[in-house]
Structure 1
Amino acid sequence: MNQKKIKIFVDCHVFDGGFQGTRTYIQGLYLELIKLNKYHIYLACNDVENLKSVFGEQDNVTYLKYKSHKKYYRLLIDAPRLIKANKIDYAHFQYRVPPFKFCKYIVSIHDVLFLDYPEYFPKVNSLINKISYKYSANKSEIVLTGSNYSKERLENHFRIKNVHVQVYGVEDVFFEAYNKDEIKQEVAHRYGVNNYLIYISRHEPRKNHFLLLKSFIDLKLYENHDLVFIGDITFRDPKFDELMGSLETKIKNKIKLLNKVEFKEMILLLRGADIAIYPSIAEGFGLPPLESAAAQVPTICSNATSMAEFDFFNEEFIDPYDIEDIKTKVLKKLENQDKKRLKELAVSIKQKYNWNASAATFIKILNQDNQQ
């Protein structure tokens, strides 16, 4: 007798917009889960054809189309309607769940940094998020997050006990072999940068772009290097803007601010970098430093919040509040790029942070809930 498949509804509205970390998470996790015959996955969004190009046509995958692009209509009307019509067992959402409930809820809350670092977030947004995230966590049977740090903060702020840590995976493309010299030549031709440092992250004050820029200037690295920032601006940082505005044109020309960068271009720019630096003050997980180390690019990573759990970095850690520590580590990495060390880091990351392991954790949590 065939075992009845568990029906999982997945809110995929993030695939209707630009690139986001939650999109990587859903894609990595469910590409693994659809390989298993015990689940039937219902993927919902507006742009169904785009979703099909990612997940393909599978017997155990059904694509559902939202009627509206509006967030509140999706949560209040669209998602509950589709869940009820398809007799779903579990519905998986990111951060917020609908108020009307016709099945068990799974919610992934990747961080609550706005509660621990309120100075870096708009007050009104933080208040709305606090109310909606807490409601969603309490409404859900399963709450998922990516680090022990985020689990502890969620449990502390929302007084809940159903939080599970599910590590995220680094995509295989970051581990692929490439010719460094050829990549650097292509980057120089297309972007006009040589011997450059890179920071891949959206711009907001907690990401600490200012301290990296100041380190670059204090060390006079602009004499022989470029500095590349990749990422859209979420919240402006007045200190960063003021420092950029004060620079001489010849120095300013050595600093590239790139946004709306396609994934393939981001990979190209990452691979061509001399070093990648991630001096963020606070992260709920922190995937980019793992991706750069997976690509065997010399990486420097903050040791704050969830990133402290990347203990294999050790000598690559920096204190994001200490500019002298950042400058020392940058110079050290530029002077000594140990290829053996780079390979060791890539191996460590591949073993722990992969979507197969993430899916296995998800399945274990689901099985435990089914047995209750």
Structure 2
Amino acid sequence: MEHSPYRIGIDAQAIGTNFSGNEVYIKNVIKNLDRGSRFDYHLFVNKNFNYAGDFTGTDWKLLEFKTRSPFIRLPFEFPGLIRREKLDLLHVQYTAPYFADCPIVSTIHDISFEHYPEFFTKKEASLLKVGIRKTAKEAAKIITVSEYSKQDMIDTYGVPAEKIVVTYNSIDEAFRAVPDPARLAAIRGKYGIEGDYVLAVGNLQPRKNIPRLLEAYKRIRLENPDIRAKLVVVGRKAWMFDGIFQTLTDFPYLKDVILTDYVPQEDLPLLYSAAEVFVYPSIFEGFGLPVLESMACGTPVVTSNTSCLPEIAGGAAVLVNPLDEDEIAAGIVKLLRDPKARQDYMARGLARSQDFSWEATGRATSEVYASVLEERRARRASKPKAQAAAH
């Protein structure tokens, strides 16, 4: 017997926040979900601080939060909206509302706060620990973005392996090599970049390891007088970024370090394509999207040998210890100086970037919804039989 479409709620608040990975993830998952007759989607947005223009004027139902405060939204406003909309399932990123009248699917990208609480404010680290542990325990299913993150949650939280589904991130089709010299010259001009440059992309926060990258860059310049490449760091100020600016105090090559702040998404493929080398020395990641973005643009990559990054790089990047400034420097110099290694990593990176697909991620996410809902339906159908047997 046909039943009406399941009502799926999706927390889409990250869209429009310019908050890198979380925004890219949910926007692309939503665009690639199963649009057949079995699901009716409701997107939760917050006009106080985000933009959902991609989904206005579509058949998606947009539901607006009135508050920015998670202390009001999670215990009060969100549960009320779930009841009002009679949702069959809710998909969130990280922390679920405190009460929900429907099963929860949560995408937990990583649990870096469990291993590096010092990278967060004390308040934020404690909120994440409490909220995400509770969500991981109570969610019907957890989606994560790498096998590393899955194993980390199994080991740290004791979550059963069958409860966690890995759906890899992917890259937008816009991330392709740009061969047009005029466009590359224009992007250099826009951000005041003269000559060759090494590129880093990531919000300014402790996990991205920018102070060590700056020290590595200083060593490269001191030990290799012929290397004049600039260092361009793309990313908005996120939190606890004072260390970056402290490192830049009395920095001998300050005029060759360019901090762009946030840049529009359409500028990123150009910035990747024009760079000599891309470096991503992050201390801990759940996925590490910029690694793939750079590979897809034909720029060779230096990244960390920790957390999920070797898994995502798949042998197509120079791997370095992110805690060792000499190793970071040596990885960058290798790709700047060795044309053969450079060409090899460019080719490997292009091939690796083709292994990921948002379409596959959207499809897999829809199947997670379906499996949770079918399990719930089967349990409900078996209850009357069990009660009848008891009588």
Deviation at 1:16, TM superposition (A): 5.4
Evaluate the alpha carbon distance shift between residue 314 and residue 15 of structure 1 in structure 2; reply closer, same or farther with a 3 A threshold. Answer: closer
What are the within-5 Å matches in structure 2 for residues 14-33 of structure 1? 14-15=14-15, 17-33=17-33
Q: Percent identity?
A: 24
Q: Could you tell me whether the CA contact under 8 Å between 1:115 and 1:130 is conserved in 2?
A: yes
Q: Could you tell me whether the CA contact under 8 Å between 2:15 and 2:27 is conserved in 1?
A: no
- Corresponding position of 1:252: 254
What are the within-5 Å matches in structure 2 for residues 280-319 of structure 1? 280-319=282-321
Q: Distance in 2 between matches of 1:350 and 1:56?
A: 31
Bigger mean CA offset, 12-21 vs 325-334: 12-21
Q: Does 1:368 align with 2:371?
A: yes
Q: Distance in 1 between matches of 2:101 and 2:92?
A: 14
Deviation at 1:238, TM superposition (A): 6.1
After TM superposition, the score normalised by the length of structure 1 is: 0.89
- Corresponding position of 2:380: none
**Secondary structure of the equivalent of 2:323?**
coil
Deviation at 1:49, TM superposition (A): 12
Q: Does 1:210 align with 2:211?
A: yes
Evaluate the alpha carbon distance shift between residue 240 and residue 14 of structure 1 in structure 2; reply closer, same or farther with a 3 A threshold. Answer: closer
What are the within-5 Å matches in structure 2 for residues 25-174 of structure 1? 25-33=25-33, 35-47=35-47, 53-59=53-59, 61-161=60-160, 162-174=163-175
Deviation at 1:342, TM superposition (A): 2.3
Q: Distance in 2 between matches of 1:49 and 1:312?
A: 37
- Corresponding position of 1:227: 231
**Secondary structure of the equivalent of 1:14?**
coil
After TM superposition, the score normalised by the length of structure 2 is: 0.85
Q: Does 1:350 align with 2:354?
A: yes
- Corresponding position of 2:274: 272
CA deviations 1:312-341 (Å, max 9, x no partner) are: 235522221233332222122113264565
Q: Which structure has the bigger radius of gyration?
A: 2
Q: Distance in 2 between matches of 1:8 and 1:236?
A: 36
- Corresponding position of 2:322: 320
- Unpaired stretches in structure 2, ≥5 consecutive residues: 376-391
Evaluate the alpha carbon distance shift between residue 239 and residue 363 of structure 1 in structure 2; reply closer, same or farther with a 3 A threshold. Answer: closer
**Secondary structure of the equivalent of 2:354?**
helix
CA deviations 1:321-369 (Å, max 9, x no partner) are: 2333322221221132645652442232222x22111122223333333
- Unpaired stretches in structure 1, ≥5 consecutive residues: none
Bigger mean CA offset, 215-224 vs 358-367: 215-224
**Secondary structure of the equivalent of 2:87?**
coil
Which amino acid letter does the alignment assign opposite residue 317 of structure 1? L
Q: Distance in 2 between matches of 1:16 and 1:348?
A: 29
Q: Distance in 1 between matches of 2:106 and 2:53?
A: 25
Evaluate the alpha carbon distance shift between residue 188 and residue 98 of structure 1 in structure 2; reply closer, same or farther with a 3 A threshold. Answer: closer
**Secondary structure of the equivalent of 1:182?**
helix
Deviation at 1:273, TM superposition (A): 1.1
How many correspondences in the alignment? 367
Q: Distance in 2 between matches of 1:105 and 1:308?
A: 31
CA deviations 1:10-30 (Å, max 9, x no partner) are: 112223533432121111111
Q: Distance in 2 between matches of 1:232 and 1:254?
A: 19
